[in-house]
């Protein structure tokens, strides 16, 4: 049972570079989410998706983009990386049926922008 | 504005010393209050969901309770392996988003 898989685990970017954080889930969940977590802080929602082809902004979307072409994958794109984007990024997914509303998280991607 | 506040920020206990973590919330129409555990370098792991005041749930040494304004995570006779950050969150939005508190970092000393 892989659950939610995120790659890479660690990355260092230079200011102005771009990258894509990958997230895939094998639980056939419709809902997927991207959060960021800064030291000593809770998780803040960046973007979310309720199904393939449908995405929407969360609390802190500036500087990020997402796409959802399949149920399984929900990549997060950083364009023109800035030091303020140094953080730990978590992807999560949840089901719309059964024991609903429980979000399952990946292990995170630790990103430093220098 | 809907918000959630956790206290204390950090808590150090001796093994076997019971205590409680607090999660205060201000939400118009609570649809679910969640507790997660987060170990260093890992993603949050689901513990409990509470939906209505008076509800309680238990798992091993942990018990979560809910009132109209607060949720408590009671830890009975903790062990060092209970050391982690405990996050509470409430459900919001049409896509079932979670709004998280900043967490309580629990350290249990042997």
Residue A39 pLDDT:
85
Architecture, CATH, for domain A4-109: Sandwich (2.60)
Distance CA B110, CA B103 (A): 22
Element (H, E) at A46: strand A43-51
Alpha carbon distance B80, B78 (integer Å): 7
- For residue A49, give the chain B residue with the closest CA: B95
Q: How do residues B77-108 score in pLDDT, each as one tens digit?
A: 999 999 999 999 998 776 678 899 999 999 99
Whole-angstrom distance, CA of residue A57 vs CA of residue A104: 20
Q: Point out the residue among B31, B32, B97 whose CB comes nearest to the CB of A45.
A: B97
- Per the CB < 8 A criterion, the answer to whether A94 and B96 are in contact is yes
Q: Which domains does chain B have, with CATH numbers?
A: 3-109 (2.60.40.10)
Contact B20, B5 (CB under 8 A): no
The DSSP secondary-structure symbol of B102 reads -
Are the Cβ atoms of A42 and B42 closer than 8 angstroms?
Answer: no
- State the pLDDT at residue A98: 55
Does the distance separating the beta carbons of A108 and B42 come in below 8 Å? yes
Nearest to B20 by CA among B106, B79, B101: B106
pLDDT in tens, chain A (114 residues): 679 999 999 999 999 999 999 999 999 999 999 999 998 888 999 999 999 999 999 999 999 999 999 999 999 999 899 999 999 999 999 986 655 678 999 999 999 999
């Amino acid at each position: 049972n892989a659950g939610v898989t995120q790659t890479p685990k660690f990355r260092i970017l230079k200011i102005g570079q771009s990258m894509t954080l990958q997230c895939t889930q094998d639980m056939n969940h419709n809902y997927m989410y991207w959060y960021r977590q800064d030291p000593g802080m809770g998780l803040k929602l960046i973007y979310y998706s309720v199904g393939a082809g449908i995405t929407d902004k969360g609390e802190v979307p500036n500087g990020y983009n997402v796409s959802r072409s399949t149920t399984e994958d929900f990549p997060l794109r950083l364009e023109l990386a800035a030091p303020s984007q140094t953080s730990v990024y978590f992807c999560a997914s949840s089901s719309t049926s059964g024991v609903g509303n429980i979000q399952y998280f990946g292990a995170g991607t630790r990103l430093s922008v220098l | 504005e809907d918000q959630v506040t956790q206290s204390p920020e950090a808590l150090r206990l001796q093994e076997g010393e019971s205590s409680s973590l607090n999660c205060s919330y201000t939400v118009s129409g609570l649809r679910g209050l969640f507790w997660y555990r987060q170990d260093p370098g890992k993603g949050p792991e689901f513990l409990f969901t509470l939906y209505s005041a008076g509800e309680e749930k238990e798992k091993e040494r942990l018990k979560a309770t809910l009132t109209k304004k607060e949720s408590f995570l009671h830890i009975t006779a903790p062990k060092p392996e209970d050391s982690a950050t405990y996050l509470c969150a409430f459900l919001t939005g049409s896509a079932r988003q979670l709004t998280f508190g900043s967490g309580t970092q629990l350290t249990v000393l042997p």
